[in-house]
């Protein structure tokens, strides 16, 4: 490979909105056969909104929103942002909490007015020994079937209610998945969100249900990439979040969304400046073409 041709390739990359860490990156891009896509913020816009508020029996809607909004105020997760916006719009200023703790990939906890509050996935409440009453369980199932992400709230060890948030698929994601397939690549959806929501998003963009890996903790995203590599696949990983960084680093090719976190950008080999997935196919075509010239 002549260095000059590779450098021409990286210059063209910059024009397309692809920042390449080093010319050698194009070489690994050529062998990629599987593209793992993070869901939130990569396939979807990552700008969520609060769409359902379901208080437990005897709980006031405003209290559910106030408690959940106050605790989520300490989190930077896109789900937290949606809850803080939605709660703030309805109940106004949110009170301060103490002892805030982030349970990565699960939710958040804090104390408010001497009450112990948990806000997170239903699995977190289950782990903490908080049962969901039947009417909340069926509300949760219905919201998930509708493709929404359910957030459960507990106060002092009892279910306080449910919130559901929803995200929208980026307008270019389905076309991008079609382009990846046209290049002979297999798209895989990887997410910490639950399987029902993940499958709904996969169906919307044209990823097979069998290629959905859901319910993974942030620390498990990297294992999911390693598992595909162990099957002999050459894996490109596309992500935007802090918790995608380890997976971006172990992938054969890490593509960071330029709209995402600095940690992800640092871990990636390529940065997709535009933040839409059509550029993934551009990057792969570019490297194939560049290396074709060299050969
Ligand atoms: P993703 O792969 O969608 O970026 P994360 O690993 O960040 O997911 O989170 C996985 C799941 O954990 C979320 O879908 C959500 O159910 C739950 N979760 C994480 N952080 C929070 C939070 N601050 N509030 C409520 N739920 C959360
Ligand atoms: Mg993400």
Ligand 1 atom closest to residue 83's alpha carbon, by position in its atom list: 24
Instruction: Tell me which of 70, 77, 260 to substitute to probe ligand 1's pocket, judged by most ligand atoms within 8 Å of the beta carbon.
Output: 77
Taking the centre of ligand 1 as the mean of its atom positions, its distance from the CA of residue 103, in whole angstroms, is 9
pTM: 0.82
Contact indicator for 197, 147 with CB cutoff of 8 Å: yes
Taking the centre of ligand 1 as the mean of its atom positions, its distance from the CA of residue 196, in whole angstroms, is 14
Alpha-carbon dihedral 90, 93, 98, 103, rounded to 10 degrees: 40
Q: Which residues does the chain have with pLDDT short of 70?
A: 1-17, 19-24, 26, 290-295
* 3-class secondary-structure state, position 270: strand
Counting ligands in written order, the one closest to the CA of 119 is: 1
Instruction: Tell me which of 192, 220, 241, 260 to substitute to probe ligand 1's pocket, judged by most ligand atoms within 8 Å of the beta carbon.
Output: 192
Ligand 1 atom closest to residue 216's alpha carbon, by position in its atom list: 6
Contact indicator for 119, 107 with CB cutoff of 8 Å: yes
CATH superfamily, with its number, for domain 3-45+169-294: HAD superfamily/HAD-like (3.40.50.1000)
Taking the centre of ligand 1 as the mean of its atom positions, its distance from the CA of residue 141, in whole angstroms, is 17
Ligand 1 atom closest to residue 72's alpha carbon, by position in its atom list: 23
Angle, CA 47 vertex, CA 35 and CA 188 arms, to 5°: 15
pLDDT at 295: 41
Q: How many CA atoms lie within 13 A of 11 on its CB side?
A: 6
pLDDT at 276: 84
- C-alpha–C-alpha distance, residues 194 and 132, integer Å: 17
Give me the helix-helix angle, 78-91 and 61-72, nearest 10°: 140
* 3-class secondary-structure state, position 15: helix
For ligand 1, atom 22, name the residue with the nearest CA. Answer: 107
Instruction: Tell me which of 72, 86, 107 to substitute to probe ligand 1's pocket, judged by most ligand atoms within 8 Å of the beta carbon.
Output: 107
Taking the centre of ligand 1 as the mean of its atom positions, its distance from the CA of residue 219, in whole angstroms, is 13
pLDDT at 288: 76
The residues spanned by each domain of the chain are 3-45+169-294, 49-166
Ligand 1 atom closest to residue 218's alpha carbon, by position in its atom list: 6
Counting ligands in written order, the one closest to the CA of 240 is: 2
Counting ligands in written order, the one closest to the CA of 193 is: 1
Active site residues: 38
pLDDT at 22: 66
Give tens-digit pLDDT for 78-132: 999 999 999 999 999 999 999 999 998 899 999 999 999 999 999 999 999 999 9
Taking the centre of ligand 1 as the mean of its atom positions, its distance from the CA of residue 218, in whole angstroms, is 9
- C-alpha–C-alpha distance, residues 194 and 267, integer Å: 26
Taking the centre of ligand 2 as the mean of its atom positions, its distance from the CA of residue 182, in whole angstroms, is 25
pLDDT at 1: 41
Burial class (CB in 10 A: 0-12, 13-18, 19+), 123: middle
Contact indicator for 291, 27 with CB cutoff of 8 Å: yes
CATH 3.40.1110.10 fits 49-166, yes or no: yes
| DSSP secondary structure, 37-67, as one string | EEIIIIIB----EEEEEEEPTT--HHHHHHH
**CB-defined site of ligand 1, < 6 Å:** 39-40, 72, 75, 77, 79-80, 105-108, 119-121, 149, 151, 191-193, 218, 241, 243
């Amino acid at each position: 490979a002549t260095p000059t041709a590779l450098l021409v390739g990286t210059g063209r990359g910059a024009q397309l909105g692809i920042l390449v860490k080093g010319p050698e990156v194009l070489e690994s891009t050529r062998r990629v056969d599987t593209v793992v896509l993070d869901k939130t913020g990569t396939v979807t816009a990552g700008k969520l909104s609060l769409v359902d508020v379901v208080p437990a029996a005897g709980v006031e809607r405003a209290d559910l929103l106030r408690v959940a909004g106050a605790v989520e105020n300490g989190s930077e997760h896109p789900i937290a942002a949606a809850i803080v916006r939605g709660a703030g719009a309805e109940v106004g200023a949110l009170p301060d909490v103490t002892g805030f703790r982030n349970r990565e990939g699960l939710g958040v906890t804090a104390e408010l007015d001497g009450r112990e509050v948990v806000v997170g996935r239903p699995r977190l409440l289950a782990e903490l020994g908080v049962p969901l009453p039947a009417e909340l369980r069926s509300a949760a199932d219905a919201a998930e079937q509708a493709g929404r992400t359910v957030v459960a709230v507990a106060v002092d060890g009892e279910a306080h209610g449910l919130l559901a948030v929803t995200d929208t698929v980026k307008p270019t994601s389905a076309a991008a998945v079609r382009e990846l397939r046209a290049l002979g690549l297999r798209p895989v959806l990887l997410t910490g969100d639950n399987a029902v929501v993940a499958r709904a998003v996969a169906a919307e963009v044209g990823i097979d249900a069998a290629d959905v890996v859901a319910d993974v903790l942030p620390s498990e995203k990297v294992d999911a990439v390693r598992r595909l590599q162990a099957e002999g696949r050459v894996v490109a990983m596309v992500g935007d979040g802090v918790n995608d960084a380890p997976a971006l680093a172990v992938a054969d090719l890490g593509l960071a969304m330029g709209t995402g976190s600095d940690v992800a950008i640092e871990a990636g080999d390529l940065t997709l400046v535009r933040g839409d997935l059509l550029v993934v196919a551009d990057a792969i075509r570019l490297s194939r073409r560049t290396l074709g010239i060299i050969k």
